[in-house]
Structure 1
């Protein structure tokens, strides 16, 4: 039986599936909230617990965190924030402010809400880890995606703030910065790209698991590039 739990947001996506599998293989109890209803009649399979939650809603976030922290035999020791979204609407003067707000809602709001709700549980458990997903665009923007780059930079700044504020409590916070992730959706959007240069979910997942694990105990406030060959 698992003796520790991790809450993985975005666990049903291309990257999320690989991250969930990595934690299960390492013996964690994994709680995966998603906006859509979990498939099948039983929302729990082995050490994966699936539930429906809108992670932009504070009330539903609190419920998801309570489920993740609700097993006394496997206290919540890590949170992995994978939820996010991408859009490229042109240069800054061509991008309506509503697009910026949408990117912040998709990328920053769930990360903020989930982390804020989980931190008291991590502190009470004696420490733990938060892992956030930003993007290479946060530190190296490209044309046409200013709203996306800004939102991902906000995620990075938030993670660094958590690292500073909760270091005395034994809670670490680190961020991974992928380039283009090799998922079916990205391949469909960029059919002519050199996909061999992209980073795969299977390559990123062990990095995320390491940052959430006790083996990375000395590390907090790190921004880890996971670019592949891109």
Structure 2
């Protein structure tokens, strides 16, 4: 039976790969993004653009559109987020707030609002995108790593909160993802060692599957090229 799947940040490189993976499984996929429009949507996908996921009212409106179309929510994949490399000396304190908003508050807001529907599902799944870089932050990674560490703690706390329900909560912790933007920022790097978006999508699809029903509260590194 087709599941109702939401992918936030679904217009980006990783979000696109995740949406395509679920669509290939025959699921109903809704892509929600801050951008007004995305690339070509996977067959059957439902796109909702221009949504500020830090705004509860705007997020609820988007969820209502998904419910009107799909009738429920089975899987929520929180891909939406951002990145900055900035040292503290000479950097902007506002960057710390911006990273918290983009990476943590977006996930917390839509997850809180989607929980009633996810708990109705017999196969409720929440998968967050953490970061390997949040395990130990390098120079210039403080603001980003702090926000992604928050995603890790959200994952652990919510998994325990939802003990006894059908909903599992996990996060994947990728190393550097092979995207055009990352290649442009690091042109001298060995791209062969970077993680492919499709490889990440495969791990997410597994965590959303019935075979992963006993896994909750896990922070799973995804570090090989794929």
Task: Normalising by structure 1, report the TM-score.
Answer: 0.91
Specify which of 169, 193, 197 is matched with residue 197 of structure 1. 193
Give the structure 1 partner of residue 11 of structure 2.
Answer: 12
The reply on whether 1:170 has 2:166 as its aligned counterpart is yes
The reply on whether 1:147 has 2:153 as its aligned counterpart is no
Specify which of 104, 123, 138 is matched with residue 108 of structure 1. 104
Asked if 2 retains the 8 angstrom alpha-carbon contact of 1:159 and 1:173, the reply is yes
Q: Residue deviations 1:106-128, cap 9 Å, x none? A: 10111011111111111123450
State the 1:62 CA deviation.
0.7
Question: In 1, distance between residues paired with 2:102 and 2:31?
Answer: 17
Q: Which runs of 5+ in 1 are unaligned?
A: none
1:126-137 alignment, distance < 5 Å:
126-137=122-133
Give the structure 2 partner of residue 76 of structure 1.
Answer: 73
Question: In 2, distance between residues paired with 1:215 and 1:70?
Answer: 29
Question: In 1, distance between residues paired with 2:38 and 2:103?
Answer: 25
Number of residue-to-residue matches in the alignment: 224
Asked if 2 retains the 8 angstrom alpha-carbon contact of 1:81 and 1:132, the reply is yes
For residue 96 of structure 1, give the secondary structure of its aligned residue in structure 2.
coil
1:46-125 alignment, distance < 5 Å:
46-52=43-49, 53-71=51-69, 75-90=72-87, 92-125=88-121
State the 1:65 CA deviation.
1.6
Asked if 2 retains the 8 angstrom alpha-carbon contact of 1:56 and 1:113, the reply is yes
Task: Normalising by structure 2, report the TM-score.
Answer: 0.92
Q: Which runs of 5+ in 2 are unaligned?
A: none
User: What do you get for the CA RMSD once the two structures are aligned?
Assistant: 1.9
Question: In 2, distance between residues paired with 1:81 and 1:123?
Answer: 17
Runs ≥4 residues deviating over 3 A:
43-46, 92-96
The reply on whether 1:37 has 2:33 as its aligned counterpart is no
CA change 1:167–1:189 in 2 (3 A) is same
Give the structure 2 partner of residue 222 of structure 1.
Answer: 218
Q: Residue deviations 1:196-225, cap 9 Å, x none? A: 110010111110111112221010001110
Question: In 2, distance between residues paired with 1:147 and 1:189?
Answer: 18
